[in-house]
Amino acid sequence: INGVNYTNDATLGNDVVTYFHDLLQSRLVALLDELLRLFPHWLPRTKPHAFR
Q: Please state the separation of Cα 27 from the chain's center in Å.
A: 3
The count of domains in the chain is 1
pLDDT tens per residue across all 52 residues of the chain: 555 555 566 677 788 888 889 999 999 999 988 888 887 766 555 555 555 4
Q: Is 19 helix (H, G, I), strand (E, B) or coil?
A: helix
Instruction: Output the CA angle 37-28-26, nearest 5 degrees.
Output: 105
Q: Indicate whether this model's pTM tops 0.85.
A: no
Domain residues for the domain of 21 are 1-52
Residue 21: CB partners within 8 Å, gap ≥ 6?
none
